[in-house]
Chain A
Amino acid sequence: MAVPYTFANATTSIPLLQLDNNFATPITIGNTAVQLGNTITSVNNLTLANVTISSVSSAITPSSGGTGITAVGTSGNVLTSNGTAWVSQAPAASSSSISNGTSNVSISSSNGNITSYTNGVLAQTIDTNQNSIHPATVVMGSSFLRNRIINGAMAIDQRNAGASQTITAAAALAYTVDRWYAYCTGANVTGQRVQGASANQYRYQFTGAASVTAIGFAQRIEAINSSDLAGTTATLSVDLSNSLLTTVTWTAYYANSTDTFGTLASPSVTSIATGSFTVTSSIARYSAQISIPSAATTGLQILFTVGAQTSGTWVIGNVQLEPGSIATPFERRQYGQEVSLCQRYYCKTFSLGTAPGNNVTSNGSLKGATRNGSTNEPSANWKFPVSMRTEPTVTLYNTGSGTAGQWSNDGTSTSSSNARSQWISTEECAMDNTGNAFNYTSNIQASASAEL
């Protein structure tokens, strides 16, 4: 637009009233006339070439219709060209496939299944119910039987059958629920399998007492069930709560020689790693990764400890030690399977729900057949329910009143003190009596421990 001559060559001020009429002449952008001093909010039929948008201060809102960007339409729609315009529409049902010539993954338009083929052979199908079907073998980084802890759910309690147990301060380790031992310092504490909630039927609970300085709860895993973890990462998971303390410490050890961990007073273990969980009074799940050294082929020990549990309760459940660095959900084995796993380390002639003891019951007792004719001394063999870890320590119990651990005549009479077990294997043991004859059928109960 040319500047009017009068203004361009002015040497003195000129009133705006004398503006040349040329300023009132509009220019055209697209097909829209633009006049100086007017506000234009839209320009039609404008073609831009080589446009660069350096920034957008707000979302570009497409208008409906036309041949450019169309309305977004329903959630899940896709933009599809119909040859002249982009149309927002639901994705069409069609089969899709990705292939490299010999292997492919496809989605069926007819049933929605996802199938994969390798070398032209069906390898996997995932159906619309999320089932995964494998015609060949599933090879996992961690097997289904991945929890190396036995009785991690605290369900099996052969020794106490759910009754409370006093853990004596500064005494030897005391076995509690199957496979787990406890100890404490400062003062005695009470331990007991308690009822859990919903799917978690049982927990193990310590009740604190004044002057207690520490409590430990641990399981030893024999080498044959843990040596493959050496040189790998394993994951420890546990449900915990504590109504008094906020820190639970875990420590992993390996035995200095195969399956020999020593005693509390003289341990024979090497520490692998330790850590702590910050816990609350509400049960919650915690996990930690443990880098297990290649030397740890001799058996593992997982220990949980708390400090001065001078009151309140400490609850533990669903303990899991598994290969790999991912904490997977607690593995729930069948109850019968768990019992059998426990019986490798401890078993008894009593019913599973009966705590062993003298003068408790004759149910399940071994019936002594007489031997040696003239002296009529009883003897019996006890076949263990499963092969035990090693030749177990055998304890005998009388079935009635009288001397502990002696043969009993249906609870009315007992032998003196000569009941014994002298032949013990991993499969069974034999017991007899020496030195005094008695002329009646006799019974005896027993337990066997092959704990680590």
Chain B
Amino acid sequence: MDSIYSNAIWVSDNGRKETIRVDINGVTSFVPASETNQDYQNIMFLVAEGKLTIAEAS
């Protein structure tokens, strides 16, 4: 049920990780690195559980 997040990759600016580009239910979205953003909380939860990896910005 939690695996609605996929293809996560950091979007960086001048070396700062500003947002995560991620598919949410198949729709590409940009999640800010904000502790109070619900998607960011869910993504970090999945990362901590080893269920999702965020790729580094290319």
Contact = CB atoms under 8 A, between A and B. Distances in A.
Interface of A: 170-172, 259-260, 263-266, 389-396, 404-405, 420-424, 449-452
B36 A395 contact: no
Contact of B1 (A263, A420, A423, A451): A263
Contact of A263 (B2, B11, B21, B32): B2
B48 to A, nearest CB: 11
Interface residues of B, number: 26
B49 to A, nearest CB: 9
B42 to A, nearest CB: 6
Given A172-B4, A421-B19, A451-B38, A393 B24 contact: yes
Given A393-B30, A395-B27, A259 B19 contact: no
Contacts of A391: 32, 34, 36-37
28 contacts: A170-B1, A171-B1, A171-B25, A172-B4, A259-B36, A263-B42, A265-B1, A265-B2, A266-B2, A390-B36, A391-B37, A393-B31, A393-B38, A393-B39, A394-B29, A394-B30, A394-B32, A395-B29, A396-B30, A405-B27, A420-B11, A421-B11, A421-B19, A422-B13, A423-B19, A424-B19, A450-B38, A452-B38
Nearest to A447: B29
Nearest to B24: A393
Contacts of A421: 11, 19, 30
A263 B29 CA distance: 18
A404 B24 CA distance: 14
Nearest to B36: A390
Given A395-B27, A420-B30, 18 more contacts: A172-B25, A263-B42, A264-B1, A266-B2, A390-B37, A391-B36, A392-B37, A393-B31, A393-B32, A394-B30, A396-B28, A404-B27, A405-B28, A420-B21, A422-B11, A423-B13, A424-B30, A449-B39
A172, A405, A422, A423 — which one has the most chain B CB atoms within 10 A of its CB? Answer: A422
Given A393-B24, A423-B13, A266 B45 contact: yes
Interface string B5-45: 00000011100001101001101111110101111111001
Contact of B34 (A263, A390, A404, A449): A390
Contacts of A405: 27-28
B36, B39, B45 — which one has the most chain A CB atoms within 10 A of its CB? Answer: B36
B18 A423 contact: yes
Contacts of A451: 38
Nearest to A431: B30
Contacts of B13: 422-423
Contacts of A450: 37-38
Nearest to A435: B58
A393 B8 CA distance: 13
A172 B6 CA distance: 14
A383 to B, nearest CB: 16
Contact of A424 (B4, B12, B21, B32): B32
Nearest to A395: B29
Nearest to A450: B37
A259 B40 CA distance: 13
B37 A172 contact: no
A310 to B, nearest CB: 22
A260 B30 CA distance: 20
Nearest to A419: B28
A393 B29 contact: yes
A259 B25 CA distance: 23
A332 to B, nearest CB: 29
Contact of B28 (A170, A389, A404): A404
A263 B38 CA distance: 9
Nearest to B26: A404
Contacts of B34: 390-391, 424
Nearest to A183: B1
Contacts of A263: 1-2, 42, 45
Give 6 nearest A-B pairs by CB, closest first: A391-B32, A265-B1, A390-B36, A391-B34, A421-B30, A424-B32
A259 B42 CA distance: 13
Contact of B32 (A170, A260, A392, A420): A392
A58 to B, nearest CB: 75
Contacts of B27: 395, 404-405
Contacts of B45: 263, 266
A113 B31 CA distance: 62
A389 B39 CA distance: 13
Nearest to A394: B30
A171 B25 CA distance: 10
Contacts of B41: 260
